[in-house]
Amino acid sequence: MVTIRFIAKEAGVSKSTVSRYLNNGQVSDDTAAKIEETIKKYNYKPNDFARNLKSNHSDFIGVIIPRFDSAATIDILEGIDDFDFGKEYQKLIVNAKQDSQKEIEAMYDFEKNKVAGIILLATEITTDHIEAIQKIDIPTIIVGQYDEKLYCVTHDDYQAAQDLTKHLLKHQPQKIIYIGVSERDVSVGQERKSGVIDAVKSLKSVPFKFIESTFSGEEAYELGKKVLLHENDTFVICATDNIAIGMMKAARELGKKIPEEISLAGFGGYGIGEQVYPTLTTVDYHFYQTGTAAAKSLEKLINGQQLAHKVVIETSVLEKDSIKKTEKA
């Protein structure tokens, strides 16, 4: 294995001189030429992690995600990866598994590796998150949640829920069930729920029920087998497309016709909604553009440019075939 010590010996210089050269320190032109020639001869690739520990400059960006099995996460990562920062940054990805404490630990670990910046796809924002971001003093962008003290790229979840629900109300539902998630998640758990409830209030005669689930499509499927058993002519609005597809699976197993007996809608705009039958009515969150916007915002912070604390990505309602339509609508 070719090491920095080996390169130093072959080039006839000290190990510290090679280290200084690799970290853009000052060495003579003749010495630099010897080291570069030796590096090329033996195809030596410096250990970037080790270089980070000795340099204030880093070619790494840390990305913290809530989970890998999420279409939204994958689309956001693609948007981040495709963004042209103007220089080559490698991405270090940490899966926090929807554990806020692991998110915070990851930020401190990134500080040790002197990453140039951090993008956090947050499940929630706590005082511990804010304290960590202020302590590490590394340019950090939050995706999916908002706090006025931080730099955030997010969506208007309340308005998205209002838009979808009002759109569905045009089809005159006889009953509405909203399948939400824990309110620990402010954006998905609180804002979407509030948007749906406030929109439904405009039609007081429509029976409404709220049921809490998780982000798991499989758990939504199990829940759906109980919730939908005696439902007919019911609109089921789900906090995510994954939940909606789990509910769709349950409805089919129960022999419910979609959309004649059970109408379904979700949030996300994931590609899988186009692959199921009937196709899923949803709110497109444009997650790829969200990732690109997060990367662009981080670049501005790294370069010391001014940036708004809140960047909002627009959403759009996509009406498909999973909703029972009225002629008047």
Contacts of 198 (CB under 8 A, 6+ apart): 162
Residue 171 shares a structural domain with residue 148: no
In a domain, 130, yes or no: yes
pLDDT digits (tens, 9 = 90+) for 171-228: 999 999 999 999 999 999 999 999 999 999 877 778 999 999 999 999 999 999 999 9
Contacts of 99 (CB under 8 A, 6+ apart): 123
**pLDDT confidence bin for 26, thresholds 50/70/90:** confident
| CATH number of the domain residue 33 falls in | 1.10.260.40
Could you give the number of structural domains in the chain?
3
Residue 148 shares a structural domain with residue 250: no
Residue type, 62: G
Residue 150 shares a structural domain with residue 292: yes
Average pLDDT of every residue of the chain: 91
Residue 178 shares a structural domain with residue 209: yes
- Token couple for 85: 């920062």
**pLDDT confidence bin for 249, thresholds 50/70/90:** very high
Mean pLDDT of 27-42: 88
- pLDDT, residue 48, reads 57
- pLDDT, residue 103, reads 97
Report the range of poorest mean pLDDT among 66-70, 122-126, 127-131.
66-70
CA distance linking residue 95 with residue 68, whole number of Å: 7
Mean pLDDT of 230-250: 96
In a domain, 321, yes or no: no
Placement of tokens 């199990």 in the chain? 222
Instruction: Choose the most confident range, by mean pLDDT, from 61-70, 86-95, 253-262.
Output: 253-262
In a domain, 54, yes or no: no
Residue 171 shares a structural domain with residue 78: no
| CATH number of the domain residue 175 falls in | 3.40.50.2300
In a domain, 222, yes or no: yes
Residue 165 shares a structural domain with residue 132: no
> Is it the case that residue 49 has pLDDT exceeding 70?
no
Residue 280 shares a structural domain with residue 161: yes
In a domain, 275, yes or no: yes
pLDDT digits (tens, 9 = 90+) for 104-115: 999 999 998 889
- pLDDT, residue 326, reads 81
Mean pLDDT of 263-286: 95
Contacts of 263 (CB under 8 A, 6+ apart): 168, 171, 173, 234, 235, 236, 281, 322, 323, 324
Percent of the chain at pLDDT exceeding 90: 72
pLDDT digits (tens, 9 = 90+) for 4-15: 888 888 999 887
- pLDDT, residue 323, reads 96
Residue 175 shares a structural domain with residue 139: no
Yes or no: say if 48 and 90 are a contact pair by the CB < 8 Å rule: yes
pTM: 0.79
Which residues constitute the domain of residue 30?
A: 4-46
